[in-house]
Amino acid sequence: MRDGGVVTAATDTTAVDKGLRTGALGLFGSVVMGISSTAPAYSLAASLGLVVASGGALLAGVKAPAIMLLAFIPMWMIAVAYQELNKEDPDCGTTFTWATRAFGAVTGWLGGWGIIAADIIVMANLAQIAGSYGYTFVGVMTNDQAISALGSSTLWSTVAGVLWIAVMTFICYVGVEVSARLQYVLLGVEVLVLVMFASVALVRVGTGHGVDGSITPSLSWLWPSGMDFGSVIAPAMLTAIFIYWGWDTAVSLNEETKDPEKTPGRAAVISTVLLLVIYALVSIAAIAFAGVGTKGIGLGSQTNADDVFSAIGPTLFGDSFIGHAAMALLAFSILTSASASTQTTILPTARTALSMAAYKALPTQFARIHKRFLTPTWSTVGMGLASIGFYVLFTVISTNLLTALIGSVGLMIAFYYGLTGFACVWVYRRTLFSSVRNAVMRGLVPLAGGIVLAVTFVYGLVQFAQPDWLQDDAGHDVTILGIGAVAVVGIGAILIGVVLMVVWWLRSPDFFAGRTLTARTPVLVLDTPEGLPTMGLPDSGREPTVIAPDMSNLPTGSIAVDEETGKRFQRTRSRRDDRRDG
Average pLDDT over residues 366-384: 86
pLDDT digits (tens, 9 = 90+) for 299-353: 888 777 777 888 898 899 988 888 888 888 888 888 778 776 776 678 788 889 9
Please state the rounded mean pLDDT for residues 450-459.
92
Q: What is the pLDDT of residues 481-537, one digit of tens each?
A: 888 888 888 899 999 999 999 999 999 999 999 888 865 555 566 666 544 334 333
**Predicted pLDDT of residue 144:** 80
Q: What is the pLDDT of residues 117-155, one digit of tens each?
A: 988 888 887 788 778 778 877 887 787 888 888 877 888
Tell me what percent of the residues of the chain surpass a pLDDT of 70.
82
Of the two residues 344 and 222, the one the predictor is more confident about is 222
pLDDT higher than threshold 70 for residue 566: no
Question: What pLDDT is recorded for position 198?
Answer: 95
Query: Residue 425 pLDDT more than 70?
Result: yes
Cα gap 31→181, rounded to integer Å:
13
The reported pLDDT for the residue numbered 519 is 53
- Over residues 372-389, mean pLDDT: 87
Q: Provide the pLDDT confidence category of residue 59 given band limits of 50, 70 and 90.
A: confident
Length, in residues, of the chain:
582
pLDDT, tens digit, 9 for 90 and up, residues 229-262: 888 888 888 888 888 888 888 888 888 788 888 8
pLDDT-derived band at 275 (thresholds 50, 70, 90) equals very high
pLDDT on residue 529 = 56
Specify which residues 561 forms β-bridges with. 525, 568
Q: Mapped to the 3 state alphabet, what secondary structure does 512-569 carry?
A: CCCCCCCCCCCCEEECCCCCCCCECCCCCCCECCEECCCCCCCCCCCEEEECCCCCEE
Could you give the CA distance from residue 344 to residue 329 in angstroms, rounded to a whole number?
22
**91 has a pLDDT exceeding 70:** yes
Is 445's pLDDT higher than 60? yes
- Tell whether the model's pLDDT for residue 158 goes beyond 80: yes
pLDDT at 66: 93
Q: Any residues with CB less than 8 A from the CB of 326 and at least 6 apart, and which?
A: 196, 200, 313, 317
Confidence of residue 178 (pLDDT cuts 50, 70, 90): low
Distance CA 543, CA 360 (A): 38
Among candidate residues 85, 72, 2, 164, the one with its CA nearest the CA of residue 549 = 85
Local confidence band at 99 (pLDDT 50, 70, 90 cut-offs): very high
* pLDDT the model gives residue 541: 39
Pick 409 or 404 by higher pLDDT: 409
| pLDDT confidence tier of residue 565, bands split at 50, 70 and 90 | low
pLDDT at residue 444, rounded to an integer: 96
Burial bucket for residue 439 (CB in 10 Å: 0-12, 13-18, 19+): middle
Q: What is the model's pLDDT at position 274?
A: 93
Closest to 468 in 3D by CA, of 298, 231, 195, 120: 231
pLDDT confidence tier of residue 553, bands split at 50, 70 and 90: low
Average pLDDT across the chain, whole number: 81
Which pTM does this prediction carry? 0.78
Report the distance separating Cα 347 and Cα 18, nearest Å: 15
- pLDDT (0 to 100) of residue 223: 92
Question: How far apart are alpha carbons 211 and 195 in whole angstroms?
Answer: 20
pLDDT (tens digit per residue) in 567-577: 777 765 544 44
